[in-house]
């Protein structure tokens, strides 16, 4: 994705998120990262969007994917891009209100199917059928991480990739959270990316995409592939 295309994408989505936040009850959209994607501080805003740009650059390829899963889609910030690079996209989350609110400003493409995770389990999806699964800043939220990881990897075709990003939760990250504001309490986080990575290495092969940024690592992004 060219810089100009990414900036246009970012501007459009950030505007929609700010419009939703202006009408939403206080704190309702925090867990879906609305405050981060629309933050007035340019450094904080840049960092959160840079995570998405790194993922977009990694997954782009000349031919389209057949099936992609956005696990924990949140506001749906990746869905417009995924709908462009895949024939079929499935979006799954336990809280679909953020996505529903954003759809008033950015309608979903016709090849995106949304599923409520409170009614549809991961293992209800067809096994060995997805070329790509993205789980961006979501695995730190799940309670049973080993089971969730096994279920996600079971959905991948051989050679498919699970893309994971998450916060380091180190002391510098926690200080940054305080500076960012009360919306960033992190009370809904069960763990940091190091614990997630350790769990994945038991059952999958990991390849790094990016660490944002040395010497102060706040986020890690990597792929996981079936052994």
Domain boundaries along the sequence of the chain = 3-226
Instruction: For residue range 27-72, list pLDDT tens digits in order.
Output: 788 777 887 888 888 888 898 899 999 999 999 999 999 999 999 9
Summarised one tens digit per residue, pLDDT across range 162-204 is 999 998 876 555 555 555 555 554 444 568 899 999 999 999 9
Q: State the CATH class of domain 3-226.
A: alpha beta
β-sheet with 130-136: strand ranges across: 112-116, 86-93, 65-71, 130-136, 156-167, 219-226, 204-212
DSSP lists the bridge partners of residue 164 as 135, 222
Pairwise CA distance, residues 40 & 22, whole Å = 14
pLDDT at 189: 59
Comparing C-alpha atoms, which of 75, 73, 64, 85 is closest to residue 1? 85
Residue 203 makes CB contacts below 8 A (sequence gap 6+) with 149, 150, 153, 227
Chain position carrying tokens 């979501």: 138
Per the structure block, which two tokens stand in for 223? 């792929």
Residues in contact with 60: Cβ distance below 8 Å, sequence separation at least 6, in sequence order: 1, 85
CA 120 to chain centre: 19
């Amino acid at each position: 994705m060219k810089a100009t295309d990414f900036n246009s994408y970012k501007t459009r989505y950030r505007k929609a998120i700010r419009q939703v936040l202006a009408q939403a009850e206080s704190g309702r959209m925090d867990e879906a990262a609305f405050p981060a994607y629309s933050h007035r501080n340019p450094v904080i805003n840049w960092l959160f969007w840079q995570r998405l740009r790194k993922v977009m650059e990694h997954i782009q390829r000349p031919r389209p994917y057949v099936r992609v899963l956005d696990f924990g889609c949140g506001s749906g910030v990746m869905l417009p891009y995924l709908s462009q690079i895949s024939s079929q996209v499935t979006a799954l989350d336990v809280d679909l209100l953020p996505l529903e609110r954003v759809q008033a400003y950015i309608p979903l493409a016709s090849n995106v199917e949304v599923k409520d995770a409170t009614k549809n389990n991961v293992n209800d999806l067809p096994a060995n059928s997805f070329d790509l699964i993205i789980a961006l800043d979501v695995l730190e939220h799940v309670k049973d991480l080993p089971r969730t990881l096994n279920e996600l990897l079971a959905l991948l075709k051989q050679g498919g990739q699970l893309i994971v990003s998450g916060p380091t939760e180190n002391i510098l990250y926690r200080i940054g959270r305080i500076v960012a504001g009360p919306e960033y309490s992190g009370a809904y986080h069960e763990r940091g990316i190091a614990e997630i990575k350790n769990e994945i290495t038991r059952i999958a092969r990991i390849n790094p995409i990016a660490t944002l940024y040395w010497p102060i690592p706040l986020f890690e992004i990597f792929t996981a592939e079936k052994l």
